[in-house]
Amino acid sequence: MPHVVKKIITIKYNHNIIINRIIIIKYGKIMINQQIYSTIKGKGLDNLDRALFSDSHCHLYMSDNPKKTLSEAKECKVGLLIDTAVDFESSRKVVELELDHKSVLKVIGISPEAALYDCENIDKLQQLLEKNVIGIGEIGLDSKIIDRVPIDKQRFCFEKQLDIAVKQNIPVVIHSRGMLKSVESILFEKGVKSAMFHFFEGNEDDAKRIEKNGYLISIPPLESSRFKRVIAAVDLESIVCETDFPAVGKTPCDVIKTIENIAKIKNKDITSIGDSITETIKDYFGV
Identify the burial level of 52 via C-beta atoms within 10 angstroms of its C-beta, where 0-12 means exposed, 13-18 middle and 19 or more buried.
buried
* Helices 151-168/180-190 angle, 10° precision: 40
Q: What is the DSSP string of 180-202?
A: HHHHHHHHHHHT---EEEET---
Separation between Cα atoms, residue 242 and residue 80, nearest integer Å: 11
Asked if 254 interacts with Zn ion (CB under 5 A), we say no
Asked if 55 interacts with Zn ion (CB under 5 A), we say no
Read off the amino acid at residue 279.
E
Candidate ranges 5-13, 31-39, 100-108, 239-247; the one touching Zn ion (CB under 5 A): 239-247
Shortest spacing between CB 11 and Zn ion, in angstroms: 30
List the interface residues with Zn ion, window 122-161 (CB under 5 A).
none
Q: Which is nearer to Zn ion, 149 or 270 (CB)?
A: 149
Candidate ranges 146-154, 208-216, 218-226, 237-245; the one touching Zn ion (CB under 5 A): 237-245
Q: Which is nearer to Zn ion, 19 or 142 (CB)?
A: 142
Shortest spacing between CB 84 and Zn ion, in angstroms: 6
Q: What is the DSSP letter of 84?
A: E
The residue at minimum Cβ distance from Zn ion is 244
Q: Residue 130 half-sphere exposure, CB side, CA atoms within 13 Å?
A: 9
Asked if 244 interacts with Zn ion (CB under 5 A), we say yes
Separation between Cα atoms, residue 70 and residue 287, nearest integer Å: 19
Separation between Cα atoms, residue 133 and residue 25, nearest integer Å: 47
Candidate ranges 30-38, 126-134, 243-251, 277-285; the one touching Zn ion (CB under 5 A): 243-251
Candidate ranges 34-42, 70-78, 116-124, 238-246; the one touching Zn ion (CB under 5 A): 238-246
Shortest spacing between CB 227 and Zn ion, in angstroms: 17
Shortest spacing between CB 200 and Zn ion, in angstroms: 13
Bridge partners for 246 per DSSP: none
Count of residues interacting with Zn ion (CB under 5 A): 1
Indicate the SS3 state at residue 28: coil
Binding residues for Zn ion, rule: CB under 5 A, are 244
